[in-house]
Amino acid sequence: MNRFSTAKGAPDRDKCNVRGTPHTEDMNTAAALIEQAEHLLREAAALPTDTLTDTEVCDLTARSEAAGRVLDALRVVAAGELAGRSRRELGTEGLAYRHGCTRPAHLIERLTLVSQREAGARIRLADALRDRVALTGEVLPARHPAVADAVRDGRIGTESAARIVDMLDTAADGCADYEALEQAERDLVDLATLHSADALKAALAVWQARLDPDGVRPRDEILRAQRRFTMGRERDGMTPFSGVADPFSAGLLRAAMADSAAPDRTPRFLDPDDLDPADPRLDPRTRDQRQFDTLIGLVTAGLRNPGESGSLRPTALVNIIVTADDLRTGEGVAWIDDIDTPISAFTAHALTCDADTSTIVLGANGEVLHLGRRERLFTAAQRRALAVRDGGCVWPGCTAPPSWCHAHHIVEWSDNGPTDVNNGVLLCPAHHTMLHASTYRLRMIRGKPHLLAPPHIDREQQWRPVGRQRATMRAPATARSR
């Protein structure tokens, strides 16, 4: 039985107070270990950090997070045990009830001073990671043993663990292939040891689509049916409006907003009288104001420039990216730039006739044609190919969309580096500058950019693939073939 164990019955209050029983010995051991850990951590926290080298600061940050993950695992264990001893069937004998609380989350809140939301999150995660006890008394493994082991050992954080558990539980409703679910769990745990909880989102979406492919297309229709835009009544000269957009519509809006709000772009959709005469490149508007002006500008442009048939046409182009296999079978998924939720390959195929979308079809390895240009600056077609391959700024953790990015020569132009896709990579202005000012290195390996971090960031000194192209992320072949 692992440490995420479940209490088998109501707590024995007498045994808990008898000196020398196993329960007391375990508690004394746990309390002593925690007290030692608290003392050591307080000593470490009191040490000065301003004398540390850059490498030592990075090492301290990583080590303190590793220690925090272990402590988080202990918090989940405690929350789960408390919840197990507060089960509804125990009635007035339940631990929470005996402490004047109707729910275990309320008792955790009282004991720890965390929010009820955090207390509930710990209980839900513990429920997925604890061993279970059948009505016959047989001890069953946890619902997600690989996640449980990784959390207990401090290899992944509770945030990543909760996201993996939520996805697996959701996918399990439409997937009867338990081997595929187990493979997904192992694969996602491995990814979570290398990537942040935010960076894990794309892999979670890919796996969910693979485990439940029949659920993607109906979800497209459900999401589209929920689209709405409402305008309220004018109040004090201002009219409120609100709404929600399906993935494709959101992709169109985000493409327009990103194109107009790039940090190094001259302000757009702004009255010339509002520009600073000293420096017309400065935009006096807030982000929200820029986005509003962009939306109104697009609506105005559409009204003034109808298409050949007289219909209104949006002015932003949306890239829909899908593999040839998925487009042919109609059973996979496709991705829209800057949108986390995939659409079905069937929907992508239907959109290929839309003149305001661009459906890019990729090979199994994400091949993009070598354009072989020799101009100093990348052409619009080359930048589009880079956007397809890289998905935006390739710097780890950066979410800048393609329209914000510079096309960087991996082998510098001054060193006879060619201006073509196989020597280009997308970097946002901040990370483009950072690359030149740091010891990070970029190179192409088998047609994909790879980044080598400095030793204090990556002790293994491995060239790691970078980029956010989700269409070619694949679940292992064992899952795809089922």
The verdict on residue 219 lying in a domain is no
Please tell me whether residues 129 and 198 are part of one structural domain. no
The CA-based diameter of the chain, rounded to the nearest angstrom, is 88
Are the CB atoms for 401 and 392 separated by under 8 Å? yes
Residue 131: left (phi > 0), alpha (psi -120 to 50), or beta? Answer: beta
Q: Quote the crossing angle between the two packed helices 178-192 and 201-211, to the nearest 10°.
A: 170
Is there a domain that residue 102 lies in? yes
Ranges 147-161, 219-233, 336-350, 355-369, most confident:
147-161
Q: What is the pLDDT of residue 95?
A: 95
Do 198 and 266 lie in one domain? The reply is no
Inter-residue contact 481 to 403 (CB < 8 Å): no
261-291 residue pLDDT tens: 666 666 666 666 666 656 656 777 788 888 8
Confidence of residue 298 (pLDDT cuts 50, 70, 90): confident
Q: Is 116 in the same domain as 137?
A: yes
Query: What's the confidence (pLDDT) of residue 374?
Result: 42
Domain that holds residue 193: 156-211
Choose one of 302, 331, 362: the last residue of a domain.
362
| 68 and 162 housed in the same domain | no
pTM for the full predicted model = 0.71
Q: Which residue has the higher pLDDT, 236 or 349?
A: 236
Q: Which of 63-67, 386-390, 478-482 has the lowest mean pLDDT?
A: 478-482
Residues 128, 164 within the same domain: no
Tens digits of residue pLDDT in 95-122? 999 999 999 999 999 999 999 999 999 9
Check whether residue 84 and residue 194 sit in a common domain. no
Residue 120 within any structural domain of the chain: yes
In a domain, 233, yes or no: no
Model confidence at 13: pLDDT above 50: no
Confidence of residue 355 (pLDDT cuts 50, 70, 90): very low
pLDDT at 337: 76
**In this structure, are residues 390 and 469 in contact, taking their beta carbons and an 8 Å threshold?**
yes
Decide if pLDDT at 427 tops 60: yes
Mean model confidence pLDDT for the chain: 80
184-227 pLDDT, tens digit each: 999 999 999 989 998 898 889 888 888 877 777 777 888 888 99
Whether residues 1 and 144 share a domain: the answer is yes
At residue 24, the pLDDT reads 57
* Residues 142 and 37 reside in one and the same domain: yes
Last residue of a domain, one of 312, 332, 362: 362
- DSSP labels, 165-193: HHHHHHHHTT---HHHHHHHHHHHHHHHT
Phi, psi of 450 (to 5 degrees): -125, 145
Domain assignment present for 386:
yes
**Domains of the chain: total:** 4
Mean pLDDT, residues 351-375 = 54
Among residues 336, 362, 388, the one where a domain terminates is 362
- Does residue 323 contact residue 364 with C-beta atoms inside 8 Å? yes
Is the per-residue pLDDT at 2 higher than 60? no
For the stretch 47-82, pLDDT in tens is 999 999 989 999 999 999 999 999 999 999 999 999
Residues 275 and 385 in one domain: no
**Same domain for 276 and 181:** no
Instruction: Describe the strand order of the beta sheet including 448-452 as a list of residue ranges.
Output: 441-445, 448-452, 464-465
Residue 389 — left, alpha, or beta (φ > 0 → left; ψ -120 to 50 → alpha)?
A: alpha
Distance, in Å, from the CA atom of 370 to the CA atom of 368, rounded to the nearest integer, reads: 6
What pLDDT band is residue 477 in, cutting at 50, 70 and 90?
A: low
**Positive or negative torsion for Cα 314, 317, 322, 327:** positive
Q: What percent of the chain has pLDDT over 90?
A: 34
Tokens found for residue 75? 């918090």
pLDDT at 186: 95
394 and 335 share one domain? no
pLDDT at 308: 44
- Identify the pLDDT of residue 53: 92
Structural tokens at position 337: 């730039």
1 within some domain: yes
Residue 244 pLDDT grade (very low, low, confident, very high; cuts 50, 70, 90): very high
Better-predicted residue by pLDDT, 156 or 367: 156
Amino acid identity for residue 129 in this structure: L
The residues, ordered by sequence, that sit 6+ positions from 421 with a Cβ below 8 Å of its Cβ are 368, 369, 370, 371, 382, 385, 386, 389
- C-alpha–C-alpha distance, residues 425 and 406, integer Å: 8
Name residues whose C-beta falls within 8 Å of residue 310's C-beta, 6 or more positions apart in sequence.
none
Q: Are residues 147 and 164 in the same domain?
A: no
Select, from the ranges 170-179, 329-338, 355-364, 451-460, the one with the highest average predicted confidence (pLDDT).
Answer: 451-460
| Higher per-residue confidence, 312 vs 128 | 128
Cβ(38)–Cβ(117) under 8 Å? Answer: no
- Sorting pLDDT into bands at 50, 70 and 90, what band is 15? very low
Q: Are 471 and 348 in contact (CB under 8 A)?
A: no
Residue 145 CB partners (closer than 8 Å, separation 6+): 2
